[in-house]
Amino acid sequence: MQAKYWQRILAAALASLVISAHADPTMRSGRLDILQDVEEQGYRRAETVRPFRFPADHGPHPGYRLEWWYVTGNLDGPAGRRFGFELTFFRLALAPETSEAVREPQSAWKTRLAFAAHFAITDVANDAFQFAHRYSRGDGRLAGATGNPVRVWLEDWFLERSGEGWRLHAKDGALRLTLELSAVKPPAFHGERGLSRKSAEPGNATYYYSLPRLESSGALEIEGRSYAVQGLAWLDHEWGTSALASDQQGWDWYALHLSDGSDLMFYNLRKLDGSRHAFSAGTWIEPDGETTTIGAGDLAIETLDYWDSPLGGRYPSGWRLTWPARDLELTIQPVVKDQELNTRPRYWEGAVDVAGQRRGVPLHGRGYVELTGYAQ
């Protein structure tokens, strides 16, 4: 997942706060990359491989411009009810921290950090999808992130370490999700030991690791009913300052839990002409946590179907993924066609079913796919 794109989403969303009810037509033109030209000087950059220390590194990394915690997962309720969920927290520095004179007494509201959070639930039985998004100043009270204890929150939505596991909570209107999560595998580091390069230029990179397999259980309230739910979730944590050149249209991100205990993450960076960018990459995670980096040319992904958003834009919807070297072949199908978040710009993030084979052994699984750059 690309920092730049999220910068755009956040910046656009923040901008829309100000003019929400009276959006100018130009607002939807997608030219809302207001932070694109922001001076990147003054921020730290992901340039070298660094050691990760936990639990501290689960917490925030001040000095970098952008950071997110990203939880997605598939949940089963009673009587065959099935749900997908997404809860994401973004931390965005609006300006580098400077050492300006502190006025006494200083207002506790003073901050140059902004936080955003997205919350979505897919209700498979009803072929329904709901989402909510929030923004706040990152003053450490309304929203913030701490490393000790590990916690990131935006008002009453939060993700936190709880003992050896994790807890998350989000609520919007009649929608409420509370989960306990427990990591089955150790953190998986992407790219070069967690340094995920997005282009040839040094510093155009992020630090990126995942907790790929989290056993989750808790309660989901939807449409006035409460369900006990359990399933598997995936946590991404990524931070950096700049990433990528401007030759990108968007990306397709896949995070799949397979029935043999292995997991697969791959991001397909699409160039403006639709072809795959050379810095597209992924990670294969064995049941014991061993990881293998997947290169841009290792995988072939074929689009099987498309879904036209009622709001405009055409998304791929169904894929065949093949990895010849590993004799892996997977068919990926969205469980609900419409899992688009109507943020600005819009993106699609949804629960998927996986079926296929590896070395002749049938496989199935579930996962999440994120599609950006298909709609303005």
Partner 1 sequence: MRTVFQALASYLLRRPGQLGFAVIGMAVGVAVIVAVDLANESARRAFNASLAAVTGMTTHQIVGGPTGLDEELYIDLRLKGIRSIAPIVEGYVTVGGEVFQLLGIDIFAEGSFRDYRATGNGLDVGGSALGLLIESGGVLMVDRTARKLKLKPGDGFAVEVAGHAHHAVVVHLMDGETTNRGLDRVLIADIAVAQEWLGLVGRLSRIDVRLSGELQDETSVTALAELLPADARLVDAAGRNRATLEMSAGFNTSLTAMSLLALLVGIFLIYNSMSFMVLQRRPMIGVLRALGVTRGQLIAALLTEGLLVAAVGTFLGVLLGVLLGEQLVVLVSRSLNDHYFVVRVTEVSLSQFSIFKGIAAGLLATLIAVSVPAMEAASYAPRLSLARSVVEERAHSLLPWIALTAAFMVLSAVVILVISKVSLVAGFVALFLTIVGAALLVPLIVKIAIPVLSMSAGIMAGLPGRLAVRGISRSLSRTGVAIAALTIAVAEIVGMSVMVGSFRDGVEDWLGNALRSDIYVTAPGPGGSRVERRIDPALVKRLVRVQGVSHYSASRRVWIETVSGRTQLQAVRMAPESYAGFEFLGGDPGTIWPAFDAGEGVLISDPYAYRHGLSRGDSLTLPTIQGERDFTVLAIYRDYDSGQGVVTLSRAAYIKHWQDQAITSLGIYLEPDADNGTVIDALTRTAAGHQALLVSSNQEIREWSLRIFDRTFVITDVLYWLAMIVAFVGVLGAVLALSLERGKELAILRALGMTRLQVASLVAIQCGTMGLLAGLLALPVGMLSGWLLIHVINRRAFGWQIDMTVPGDALVAALAIAILTALLASLYPAWRVTRWAPAATLREE
**Candidate segments 108-116, 275-283, 286-294, 346-354, binder of partner 1 by CB under 8 A:** 108-116
Under the binding rule (CB under 8 A), the answer on residue 99 touching partner 1 is no
CA distances from 126 to 230, 306, 308, 338, 353 (A): 18, 21, 19, 12, 16
Q: In angstroms, what is the minimal distance from the CB of 151 to partner 1?
A: 13
Q: Report the DSSP beta bridge partners of residue 39.
A: none
Q: In angstroms, what is the minimal distance from the CB of 249 to partner 1?
A: 21
CB 298 within 8 A of CB 308: no
Under the binding rule (CB under 8 A), the answer on residue 109 touching partner 1 is yes
Which residues, numbered 129-168, are part of the site for partner 1 (CB under 8 A)? 134-137, 141-142, 155-156
Residue span 166-205 as binding mask against partner 1, x where in contact by CB under 8 A, dash where not: -----x-x--------------------------------
Count the Cβ atoms, other than its own, within 10 Å of residue 184. Answer: 16
CB 137 within 8 A of CB 111: yes
Under the binding rule (CB under 8 A), the answer on residue 225 touching partner 1 is no
Under the binding rule (CB under 8 A), the answer on residue 12 touching partner 1 is yes
Using CA of residue 33, residue 36, residue 38, residue 44, what is the dihedral sign?
positive
- Interface with partner 1 (CB under 8 A), residue from 79, 100, 310, 359: 100
Which residue number, 27 or 296, has a Cβ lying nearer to partner 1? 27
CA atoms within 13 A on the CB side of 356: 23
Rounded Cα gap, residues 184 and 189, in angstroms: 15
Which residue number, 35 or 222, has a Cβ lying nearer to partner 1? 35
Q: Which two tokens stand for residue 275?
A: 């072809």
Which residue number, 97 or 192, has a Cβ lying nearer to partner 1? 97
Q: Report the DSSP beta bridge partners of residue 253.
A: 267, 370
Residue span 66-85 as binding mask against partner 1, x where in contact by CB under 8 A, dash where not: --------------------
- Interface with partner 1 (CB under 8 A), residue from 22, 99, 274, 297: 22
Under the binding rule (CB under 8 A), the answer on residue 23 touching partner 1 is yes
Under the binding rule (CB under 8 A), the answer on residue 114 touching partner 1 is yes
Q: What are the residue ranges of helices labelled H in 57-171? A: none
User: CA gyration radius for the chain?
Assistant: 20
Using CA of residue 153, residue 156, residue 162, residue 168, what is the dihedral sign?
negative
Under the binding rule (CB under 8 A), the answer on residue 94 touching partner 1 is yes
Q: In angstroms, what is the minimal distance from the CB of 115 to partner 1?
A: 9
Residue with the two structure tokens 């003053």? 139
Q: Report the DSSP beta bridge partners of residue 197.
A: 205
Under the binding rule (CB under 8 A), the answer on residue 107 touching partner 1 is yes
Rounded to 5 degrees, φ, ψ at 309 are: -70, 135
Q: In angstroms, what is the minimal distance from the CB of 206 to partner 1?
A: 23
Which residues bind to partner 1, rule: CB under 8 A?
11-12, 14-24, 26-27, 31-32, 34-35, 94-95, 100, 103, 105-112, 114, 134-137, 141-142, 155-156, 171, 173
